[in-house]
A and B are shown apart, each in its own frame.
Chain A
Amino acid sequence: MTAVLEANGLGKRYGRRWALRDCTISIPGGRVVGLVGPNGAGKTTLLHLAVGLLAATSGTIEVLGGCPAGSPAQLARVGFVAQQTPTYAGLSVSQHLRLGAWLNANWDAELAKRRIKQFGLDPNERAGKLSGGQRAQLALTLAIAKRPELLLLDEPVASLDPLARREFLQGLMEVVAGHGTSVLLSSHLIADLERVCDHLVVLAASRVQVTGDVDALLASHYRLSGPRRDPAALPANQEVIQESHTDKQSTFLVRTTDPILDPAWTIRPVTMDDLVLAYMSQPPGTKNASHPGLEVIR
């Protein structure tokens, strides 16, 4: 699978503050990739860099093998839904579709009309009068109908009610199933990501903390609990991601590809929730934890 997004040492600085730093990732195609992290971690920055709304301060980024927003052809291959799904409040739904048709060479008008009907949007309603969920569906339709190879979505469901969220993800997964589109979806709601993502990138403190296929990540992380122990006493092949101690007991969340042989440990598998939270709460300045070995090479 060729990579849909390749970043090398990518960074973006505003004044003295780095919004994103030392980002080196290779996101495989044909997946639904979750970009997760707390607010201000750099998710929007990364997506805006990928789609050409921002220019990098350091490092490089390549999307579908080309420069982001380098040419109309490049822009046509990538669909984007920005945070809070901006739309033209004064234009109606059908006028937005015409906007899509005018500005995109590869516009699938039938698909767009079908989706609008499927989600019950009134074509003559002004976008300003739509509910948040309806606007999100409109924005997604605009991104999808241009038949992109890659869809980038910036927190598309953050401000939606549960029903609208579910409908949005249903619509999105339908597109993935039908067209094989690669998706990179950012969110700070882990529950939604668990349903739909098979590849994960965790961002925290403007750095990539971990990245890899969800199955591989879950298979290589364990929660160990047992009698109190110093983390330095653990074998070298077990990397401690999170630790907590009481006076009698220690609990560690470790990453290792080797079997755990110490009989003193109670070993429990790790859920995506635990894993993401553990990486998100790593103190800033921890070394970049993207290990290529974690990615499943198919």
Chain B
Amino acid sequence: MIRLTWLQFRMQAAAAAAALAVIAVVLALTGPHLAHLYDVSGITVCQAHADCASLSSRFLNQASAAFTDNFLLGFGNVVVAAPALVGIFWGAPLIARELETGTYRLTWTQAVTRTRWLIVKLGIVGVAGVAAVGLLSLMLTWWFRPIDLVNMNRLTPAVFGERGVVPAAYAAFAFALGVTAGVVLRRTLPAMAVALAGFAATRLAITYWVRPHLITPVQATGKVVESLPGGGALRLWPAAGPHGPAGTPVTIPGSAWVYSIQQVDAAGHVVHPVLRAACHRSQAAIDACTAGYHRVVSYQPSTRFWAFQWRETAVFLALALILAGLTFWWLRRRLS
């Protein structure tokens, strides 16, 4: 069964290997140059002391010039698309083609049980898909490291899904979704469509509705929130003094993922006070109006990047396993 699966799969495997090889060569040729640009930019030195806005933008401009924006963007898209491609082209046809063409009537009557057949097919192609995407994302994480260190935005949705280990988990899920769609719908093209739509919808849903809840955010309380220029950092002052914010502020770096800045009353309830026009006349007026209220900033520090990565990986792997179980059940019970 293993040899048969390989025989049927080898063309797709070769295509993926070729694509990965090409990308690896391109990255290997260009990566060191980007790293060199970063090393000579002086950002490592300045980051220890002050903000490096000008050095950062100069480095980024150099990078853009060296590799053109399309190039950089293109790589990001590859990692976003790769899991979907695995689901559509490796997952959906896996079983659907056999059902569509009737070849299952040949294979299921040889001396191999349906369960073993499915286990081997899912195992070999699934692992290959996950490994390919995993390798791709690790290569890209390595290549983008200088840029990520400068941008410090790894927790934003646009970047998070293109780095680290989550793309491999996305691929596992997309693959399982494709296979399940194929088994239920029994036709390759509709299964591909469902795989694509389902994968996109799930990714969006989890990014915006599940990921924020994976780890309880840090909450910093203060009286005044000040936006710092260049980089999106925030400063939270504990008190509002007569000449402006007072006390020792808490700095929330721009790399943090800020959920919300909310107004909270003395009892801790979130309020949405509408400041009457009268409150805006002077600082004293503002202070008076906001006397009983605090500001609470909910955020995730960027050091939690890997914690988020592993948790989201677990979520998608769990989904993949559930779908795989559904496929087994469907194949045994319903297709009879």
Contact = CB atoms under 8 A, between A and B. Distances in A.
B98 to A, nearest CB: 9
B170 to A, nearest CB: 29
A146 B336 CA distance: 25
Contacts of A106: 111
Contacts of A87: 103, 106
A186 B110 CA distance: 20
Contacts of A242: none
Interface stretch (B3-11, B87-95, B142-150): B3-11
A105 B103 contact: no
Given A53-B109, A71-B113, A76-B111, A103 B103 contact: no
B111 A105 contact: yes
Contact of B111 (A55, A82, A86, A104): A104
Given A89-B101, A102-B4, A80 B109 contact: yes
Contacts of A100: 110
B255 to A, nearest CB: 50
A82 B110 contact: no
B112 interface: yes
B1 A103 contact: yes
Nearest to B97: A88
A220 interface: no
B114 to A, nearest CB: 8
A104 B102 contact: no
B183 to A, nearest CB: 15
Contacts of B104: 53
B109 A104 contact: no
Contacts of B1: 102-103
Contact of B113 (A75, A79, A95, A104): A75
Contact of B105 (A73, A82, A102, A104): A82
Interface in B119-172: none
B7 A91 contact: yes
B336 A139 contact: no
B107 interface: yes
A98 B112 CA distance: 14
Nearest to B107: A103
B106 A82 contact: yes
Contacts of B101: 86, 89
Contacts of B4: 99, 102-103
A53 B106 CA distance: 10
Nearest to A89: B101
Nearest to B111: A76
Given A53-B105, A88-B8, A91-B7, A103 B336 contact: no
Contacts of A75: 109-113
B208 interface: no
A91 B4 CA distance: 10
Interface residues of B, number: 20
A223 to B, nearest CB: 40
A72 B105 contact: no
Given A91-B7, A102-B1, A103-B1, A52 B108 contact: yes
B42 to A, nearest CB: 57
Contacts of B103: 86-88
B137 to A, nearest CB: 31
A189 interface: no
Indicate the member of B8, B102, B107, B111 with the most A CB atoms within 10 Å: B111
Nearest to A48: B105
A152 to B, nearest CB: 9
Given A88-B8, A103-B1, A139 B106 contact: yes
A287 B172 CA distance: 55
B79 to A, nearest CB: 30
A52 B111 contact: no
A80 B336 contact: no
A234 interface: no
A78 to B, nearest CB: 7
Contact of A54 (B8, B110, B113, B336): B336
Contacts of B108: 52-53, 69
Contacts of A71: 113
Contacts of A90: 8
Given A51-B109, A80-B105, A104-B110, 15 more contacts: A53-B105, A69-B108, A71-B113, A72-B111, A75-B111, A82-B102, A82-B105, A86-B102, A91-B8, A98-B7, A102-B4, A103-B107, A103-B111, A103-B112, A146-B110
17 contacts: A52-B108, A53-B109, A72-B113, A75-B113, A79-B109, A82-B106, A86-B101, A86-B103, A86-B105, A99-B7, A99-B110, A102-B1, A103-B111, A104-B111, A105-B111, A146-B110, A146-B111
